[in-house]
Amino acid sequence: MNRDFLKDKKRIVVKIGTSNVTHEESGDINLLKLEKFAMVLTDIRSRNKDVLVVSSGAIGAGRTALRIKERPRELPVKQACAAVGQARLMMIYEKMFSEYNQTIAQLMVTKHTLTNKISRTNAQNTLRELFDMGVIPIINENDPVSTDQIQNEVFGDNDTLSAIAAELVGADLLILLSDIDGLYTDNPKTNPDAKFIDCVTDVDRRMMRFAKDASSDCGTGGMITKLEAAKIAKNAGIDMVICNGSDVVNISRILDGKNIGTLFKA
């Protein structure tokens, strides 16, 4: 499918997951990748496009800062890691984006922020003003006080949250950075015969069967939650792309109409 129409997208939401924010070997924050991420998004913002980031990684960042070797299972420990990690993560984002003279903002949300009429409207108004000011907002679920994601995994490592945020701000493109190139007929890490799916027009039961659970030690999301996000985006009239986040320049390539990742048509 010709993807030249992606060049005209004006408001983009980019979700970066834990596996893209941290090193697989140690779970610590991948500074080199985040610096490149900041450069790419600042460049996109300079093209007169609005950019919103939904970032995971707070629990992972807190876990390494607190020298907890294994992924915590107890809820209070997860929340403590998130509290430490969120501050650490935003400090790094601020440093990286400031290198390119780009102002960022942090918004912490809960499920109720996005479902309560008053708080939802307030969030929309805040984000609209930030876009008008040329700011790149970075949002995440407020893990230290909300258990929706880290206990019940409602947002699935922020996959679903990013789709809800895209709908909230009236985005016309949602990009989910993953640890694989897109959607396959099977898990390409375990099945060499798995076939890549270039474009999806309907997320049906057949597509859901292709999805596999997450295998990462850091994240909580998998392809299933990404397909759930695709359903939300589709219903909101938002195109979505799942692509490999190992090279964050893929974000720019997508906006240049390149055939990168799996495209989910609105």
Q: What is the pLDDT of residues 30-76, one digit of tens each?
A: 999 999 999 999 999 999 999 999 998 888 888 888 888 787 888 88
Using an 8 Å Cβ cutoff, are 257 and 263 in contact?
Answer: no
Largest CA distance in the chain: 50
Q: How confident is the model at residue 148 (pLDDT cuts 50, 70, 90)?
A: low
What's residue 129's pLDDT? 98
State how far Cα 18 lies from the chain centre. 9
Q: How confident is the model at residue 216 (pLDDT cuts 50, 70, 90)?
A: very low
Question: Looking at 11-15, 160-164, 237-241, which range is the least confident one?
Answer: 160-164
Q: How confident is the model at residue 212 (pLDDT cuts 50, 70, 90)?
A: low
What's residue 144's pLDDT? 52
Please state the pTM of the whole predicted model: 0.90
Nearest to 93 by CA among 49, 135, 46, 148: 135
What's residue 146's pLDDT? 54
Instruction: Please name the amino acid found at residue 83.
Output: A
Cα dihedral across residues 80, 85, 87, 90: positive or negative: negative
Structure tokens at 171: 């985005």
Structural domain of residue 68, as residue ranges? 4-264
Identify each DSSP E strand in the chain by its residue range.
11-16, 50-55, 104-109, 136-141, 173-178, 199-200, 239-244, 262-264
State the CATH number of the domain containing residue 214: 3.40.1160.10
Q: What is the domain count for the chain?
A: 1
